[in-house]
């Protein structure tokens, strides 16, 4: 007998029919003698619909009320799935995040989980219940409802698996595993049997939304056995997220991630002296805007230099306003912005021991006339910022150039 946490995403619970299908799968695992905790998302489109309603009233909705609103999506699916399980003769019980007591910090709309009270869940499991928990939500110390950021049900699933010391956390979604890149963009993308935590962490943080990044962080930290699978297929092993030690010979590149949400800001002609990066980025950080890539050029004339960085596209207008305000205090000549940029990244632990990856990447992009506006590298990834209109082309040609459609 194993304890399994299964998380089903929005599409997988997108209709009554699909909720019944989920109930059948859960019943199969119960019939095999396993204990099952199910985490569900809201029905597909529901979270977006609720956010849309809020924005019809407030252009920047109050964060506390926003969490009260968007957490309702998951409250619907936990009840419906529990009913579907009961209809199949199983014992089932639903829990909201607050009812479990998934304690988070108070950062509304992007809260972090601090602790999980697993006592009630364990008692129900031992009494033979399937426990159905609302994803994406928690409660802060004062009893306010919080949510974990978009895609946060993945994190609920992994955090519950960690708290309950589950044997496996299964993430059921609308694809049958993690692919070399988003199969919606590159039909030739290949499903990976395994991917290392390190690579999955990079893929998620660089834009592959198949798993929320915090869920991967949790899985790595608490050594949760994590698998991505299809909720539409009966069979299949999906993709197992492994620790590098377990993996066999690694391919050089495991996948390509991309992100359309980048916006680029350049501060031109700033004095080339200590403290300048702080003078530019300090006010941006104070406004709670996360900065992603940063490049400071070598000053051509020895007195001034140019400074470029990227932010999330949603923060672009605010960041531009801030910089225009501090421009003269910094002594900058000009502030320029471009919110039609995108980032494409190659990820692979094999990069550590191979050279020539970057040059092959630049050659491939150049052959298509795609200009690399910014470049950043780490041990296991190379990211390039390009004009948004070339993103899909870039992903496709890189996928081909690195032979990712063929098994390594």
Binding residues vs ligand ADP (CB under 6 A):
9-12, 41, 151, 173-175, 178-179, 181-184, 208-210, 255
Nearer to Mg ion, 9 or 138 (CB): 9
399, two tokens: 């996928």
Minimal distance, residue 11 CB to ligand ADP, in Å: 5
For the beta carbon of residue 6, count every other beta carbon within 10 angstroms.
Answer: 28
Q: Tell me how far apart the alpha carbons of residues 185 and 233 are, in angstroms, rounded to a whole number.
A: 21
Binding mask 152-171 for ligand ASP (x = CB under 6 A): xxx-----------------
Q: Which does 210 bind (CB under 5 to 8 A by kind): ligand ADP, Mg ion, ligand ASP, none?
A: ligand ADP
Q: Tell me how far apart the alpha carbons of residues 219 and 199 are, in angstroms, rounded to a whole number.
A: 13
Number of residues that bind ligand ASP (CB under 6 A): 13
- Rg (C-alpha) for the chain, rounded Å, is 23
Q: Which does 255 bind (CB under 5 to 8 A by kind): Mg ion, ligand ASP, ligand ADP, none?
A: ligand ADP
Q: Which does 348 bind (CB under 5 to 8 A by kind): ligand ASP, Mg ion, ligand ADP, none?
A: none
Backbone φ, ψ for residue 14 (5° rounding): -75, -10
- 10 in contact with ligand ASP (CB under 6 A): yes
Q: Which does 150 bind (CB under 5 to 8 A by kind): Mg ion, ligand ADP, ligand ASP, none?
A: ligand ASP
- 177 in contact with Mg ion (CB under 5 A): no
Window of 25-33, 123-131, 146-154, 343-351 that interacts with ligand ASP by CB under 6 A? 146-154
Q: Which does 77 bind (CB under 5 to 8 A by kind): ligand ASP, Mg ion, ligand ADP, none?
A: none
Residues between 52 and 81 with contacts to ligand ASP, criterion CB under 6 A: 73
Window of 151-159, 256-264, 269-277, 374-382 that interacts with ligand ASP by CB under 6 A? 151-159
List strand residue ranges (DSSP E) for 314-401, in order: 334-338, 341-347, 374-378, 381-387
- 151 in contact with ligand ASP (CB under 6 A): yes
Element at 405 (helix H, strand E): none
Q: Tell me how far apart the alpha carbons of residues 308 and 285 are, in angstroms, rounded to a whole number.
A: 15
Query: Exposed, middle or buried, 366 (CB in 10 Å: 0-12/13-18/19+)?
Result: exposed
Q: Tell me how far apart the alpha carbons of residues 66 and 55 are, in angstroms, rounded to a whole number.
A: 10
Q: Which of 73, 151, 207, 348 is the binder for Mg ion (CB under 5 A)?
A: 151
Closest CA to 36 of 124, 155, 154, 150: 124
201-222 as b/e, with b when 16 or more CB fall inside 10 Å? bbbbbbbbebbbbbbbbbbbee
Minimal distance, residue 75 CB to ligand ASP, in Å: 11
Residues that bind ligand ASP (CB under 6 A): 9-10, 41-42, 47, 73, 135-136, 150-154
């Amino acid at each position: 007998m194993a304890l399994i946490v299964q998380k089903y995403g929005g599409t997988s619970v997108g209709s009554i029919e699909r909720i019944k299908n989920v109930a059948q799968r859960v019943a199969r695992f119960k019939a095999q003698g396993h204990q099952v905790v199910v985490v569900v998302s809201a029905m597909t489109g529901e979270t977006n619909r609720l956010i849309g309603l809020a924005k019809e009233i407030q252009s920047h909705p109050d964060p506390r009320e926003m969490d009260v609103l968007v957490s309702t999506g998951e409250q619907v699916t936990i009840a419906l799935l529990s009913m579907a399980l009961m209809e199949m003769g199983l014992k089932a019980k639903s829990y909201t995040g607050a009812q479990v007591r998934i304690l988070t910090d108070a950062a509304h709309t992007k809260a972090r989980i601090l602790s999980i009270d697993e006592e009630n869940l364990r008692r129900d499991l031992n009494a033979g219940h399937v426990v159905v928990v609302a994803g994406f939500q928690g409660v802060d110390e004062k009893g306010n409802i919080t949510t974990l950021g978009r895609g946060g049900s993945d994190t609920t699933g992994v955090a519950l698996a960690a708290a309950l010391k589950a044997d496996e956390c299964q993430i059921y979604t609308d694809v049958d595993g993690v692919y070399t890149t988003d199969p919606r963009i590159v039909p030739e993308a290949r499903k990976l049997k395994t991917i290392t935590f390190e690579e999955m962490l990079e893929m998620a943080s660089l834009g592959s939304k198949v798993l929320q990044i915090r869920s991967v962080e949790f899985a790595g930290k608490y050594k949760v056995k994590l698998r991505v699978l299809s909720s539409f297929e009966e069979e299949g092993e999906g993709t197992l997220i492994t620790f590098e030690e377990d993996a066999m010979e690694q391919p050089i590149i495991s996948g390509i991630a991309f992100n359309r949400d980048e916006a680029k800001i350049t501060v031109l002609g700033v004095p080339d002296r200590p403290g300048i990066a702080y003078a530019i980025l300090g006010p941006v950080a104070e406004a709670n805007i996360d900065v992603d890539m940063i490049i400071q050029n070598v000053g051509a004339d020895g007195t001034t230099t140019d400074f470029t960085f990227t932010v999330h596209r949603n923060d672009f207008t605010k960041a531009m306003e801030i910089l225009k305000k501090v421009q003269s205090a910094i002594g900058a000549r000009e502030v320029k912005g471009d919110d039609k940029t995108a980032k494409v990244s190659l990820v692979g632990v094999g990069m550590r021991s191979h050279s020539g990856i970057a040059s092959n990447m630049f050659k491939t992009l150049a052959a298509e006339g795609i200009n690399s506006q910014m470049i950043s590298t780490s041990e296991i990834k190379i990211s390039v910022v390009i004009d948004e209109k070339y993103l899909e082309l870039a992903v496709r040609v890189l996928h081909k150039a690195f032979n990712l459609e063929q098994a390594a």
